[in-house]
Amino acid sequence: MSTSGEKQKVARAAGVVGMATLASRLCGFARDLATAYFFGASAAADAFFVAFRIPNLLRRLFAEGSLTIAFIPVFTEVLRKKGREEADLLARSAYTLLALALVVVCLVGVIFAEPIVRLIAPGFTPGQETHTLAVLLTRWCLPFIFFISLVALASGVLNSLGHFFAPAFAPALFNLCVIGCALFLSDRLDPPVLSLAIGVLLGGLGQLLLQLPYLRARGVSLRPLWRPRDPALRRVLRLMGPAAFGAAVYQITVFINTQLASLLASGSVSYLYYADRLIQFPLGIFAIAISTAILPSLSRQAADADRQGLVETMGYGLRLTLFITVPSMVGLVVLARPLVELLFMRGEFGVESAAATANALVGYGLGLWAFAGLRAVVQTFYALKDTKTPVKVAAGCLVVNVAASLLLMWPLGHAGLALATSISGAVNLLALLWLLRRRTGPLGGRRLRRSCLKIAAAATIMGLLIGLTAYAPIWGEAGVARQTVRPLAALVVGMVSYLLAARLLGMEELAELWAVLGRRRR
């Protein structure tokens, strides 16, 4: 397929994933609003966030962090070279092996929940309420890893076959389950926060059930098949090793930040969590959508030894990602406090919590461009079946993150931990781009630099107009206009001004986005 044809497939897939993810993220914000309303930044909320982080860590290791990125390139290669029947056998054998491994992991986690919590959050003293609650919630949340890892494998199969909607929309079901349990069970359970853990468990099951009819519609059977000697499955497992280690490096970073945050003032874990949720909104809708859409195309081009097409697809994904995430970064940094107040400041979440969360948001927001761009570049290495290089770079960046965290956490508190994460993310992206250029040759750097300069100019204009709108004296000191109308008006001004500036600067990414929207309307 031509490069333009691959770009069209990427654009269509990114549009589907982006729209489905938008629905999921909106439900995710509703979930966070419910959590903030019922539990605020309390000790119970800290205990839940620590407990939920444990299965999330395992999800990164078993699912998105290793299995999916190792499975899609191999599955795509088998599909193109050996046919559909052999690819289906690979999917069944991978599903069987994964399910057995996950049962063992869940049992071990439930049995050793107490030492695991002690390791994840050493600031939670054993015997105290927060520690005891975190152990209880961990035991309830851990089976989530079983369901969500099987969902990840199903998503890899569907994406490889050209279906993107169900995997992207599935998290909406998870969020709705957590919201429903918080609303209807929190006042009937002791402790009330147990309702969130039950919602996590039901949400994982709901996501898995959603994938099954789409798999059946494409003739994919997940009947158990024990074929551990399958050469393709062994290749997946070999690729999973370095990928899992790379995911572990990222999760070690999260783990260290959680440990350090637990040593700071009460509520620091929650402040970082709520700020990260805001950062994940543009990452999920745009960056993850584009990186998810380009992996099958990159895998096809790598299987066909089309290095030029692969580099062009990667560059296209990177430029499109930066075009959207750089203005998002500017908006989040300039509007940090107004956005946090708009979304979270109600119930138990008061003014002090809003201010502390906004500080963390600024720290994370400064690295949004790097977090987003990193996904497109890493997918290129994975398509080339090179999972070792991103791991080595990530390991080096872990050292950068720890050093920056220790340097910044005492003068800046939890905001210093967020800023350290942004610094290590930028180092990671730049190092991988340099290494990829050494491997594949020129990456279209001149075109990328030209796009980046135009994006920066348009985003600067947008930021100035947002600031003038949001911090004008007309909004008063308090009230509905200040908390609700002010950030919404600033967002509208920012969106319009950025699009106009992009149009005046003749940015090709804007034309590509309009073309995608035009095709979708037709």
Residue 110 contacts residue 131 (beta carbons within 8 Å)? no
349's enclosing H/E stretch is none
Paired tokens of 340: 């946090």
The reported pLDDT for the residue numbered 72 is 78
pLDDT tens digits, 77-92 = 888 778 888 888 888 8
Residue 522 has pLDDT above 60, yes or no: no
Dist. CA 475–CA 490, nearest whole Å:
12
Hey, which bits of 272-399 come out as E strands?
none
Angle between helices 268-282 and 351-365 (to 10 degrees): 50
Greatest Cα-to-Cα distance within the chain, rounded to the nearest angstrom: 70
pLDDT at 18: 66
Look at residue 517 and tell me whether its pLDDT is greater than 60: no
Find the helix packing angle between 67-81 and 144-160, rounded to 10°: 30
- Other C-beta atoms closer than 10 Å to the C-beta of 68 total 25
Q: How far apart are CA 394 and CA 425, in angstroms?
A: 9
φ, ψ (nearest 5 deg) of residue 143: -60, -15
Whole-angstrom distance, CA of residue 7 vs CA of residue 2 = 9
List the structure tokens of 273.
Answer: 């969590």
Burial environment of residue 261 by CB neighbours within 10 A (0 to 12, 13 to 18, 19 or more): buried
| Greater model confidence, 322 or 122 | 322
Would you say residue 13 has pLDDT above 50? Answer: yes
- What is the average pLDDT score of the chain? 81
**Is the pLDDT at 59 greater than 80, yes or no?**
no
Q: What's the CA gap between 427 and 419, in Å, rounded?
A: 13
pLDDT, tens digit (0-9, with 9 covering 90-100), for 316-332: 888 888 888 899 999 99
- For residue 512, what are the contacts with CB-CB under 8 A and spacing of at least 6? 7, 11, 320
If one compares 204 and 43, the residue with the highest pLDDT of the two is: 204
Residues 263, 274: Cα–Cα separation, whole Å: 18
The model's pLDDT over 382-416, given as tens digits with 9 standing for 90+, comes to: 778 787 888 888 888 888 988 998 899 888 888 88
Distances (CA, A) of 12 to 64, 172, 255, 513: 22, 21, 36, 10
Contact call for residues 327 and 372 (beta carbons, < 8 A):
no
Please, which residues have CB within 8 angstroms of residue 521's CB and are 6 or more apart in sequence?
none
d(C-alpha 250, C-alpha 262), whole Å: 19
Inter-CA distances, 145 with 88, 103, 138, 276, Å: 24, 9, 11, 21
Residue 409: phi, psi to the nearest 5? -70, -30
DSSP of 9-67, one letter per residue?
Answer: HHHHHHHHHHHHHHHHHHHHHHHHHHHHHHHTTSHHHHHHHHHHHHHHHHHHHHSTTTH
pLDDT > 70 in the chain, percent: 88
The DSSP secondary-structure symbol of 476 reads -
Taking residue 464's Cβ as centre, other Cβ atoms within 10 Å add up to 14
Token pair recorded at residue 331: 């908006």
Calculate mean pLDDT across residues 280-289.
75
Q: What is the C-alpha separation between 158 and 156, in angstroms, rounded?
A: 6
- Res. 65: pLDDT tops 60: no
pTM exceeds cut of 0.75: no
Which pLDDT score, from 0 to 100, does residue 520 have? 46
> Which segments of 384-444 does DSSP mark as H helices, in order?
388-412, 414-440
Higher pLDDT, 267 or 519: 267
Helices 231-262 and 268-282 cross at an angle (nearest 10°) of 130
User: How far, rounded to the nearest angstrom, does the alpha carbon of residue 299 sit from its chain's CA centroid?
Assistant: 21
Mean pLDDT of 130-154: 86
Average pLDDT over residues 147-156: 84
Domain ranges in the chain are 1-38+267-444, 43-265
Residues 6+ away with beta carbon under 8 Å from 209: none
Q: Which two tokens stand for residue 123?
A: 């600031």
Q: What is the pLDDT of residue 500?
A: 92
Concatenating the DSSP letter of every residue in 128-143 gives SHHHHHHHHHHHHHTT
Burial of 277 (0-12, 13-18, 19+ CB in 10 A): buried
Residue 62: the pLDDT is 65
Q: What is the pLDDT of residues 165-200, one digit of tens each?
A: 788 788 888 888 989 988 888 888 888 888 888 999
Q: Note whether 220 and 157 are within 8 A (CB).
A: yes
- 481 in Cβ contact with 501 (< 8 Å): no
The band of 11, judged by pLDDT with boundaries at 50, 70 and 90, is low
pLDDT surpasses 50 at 102: yes
Residue 406 structure tokens: 């220790």
How far, in Å, CA of 467 to CA of 333, rounded? 10
498-506 mean pLDDT: 89
CA distances from 212 to 150, 153, 159, 222, 247 (A): 11, 12, 14, 9, 27
How far apart, in whole angstroms, are the C-alpha atoms of residue 191 and residue 136?
10
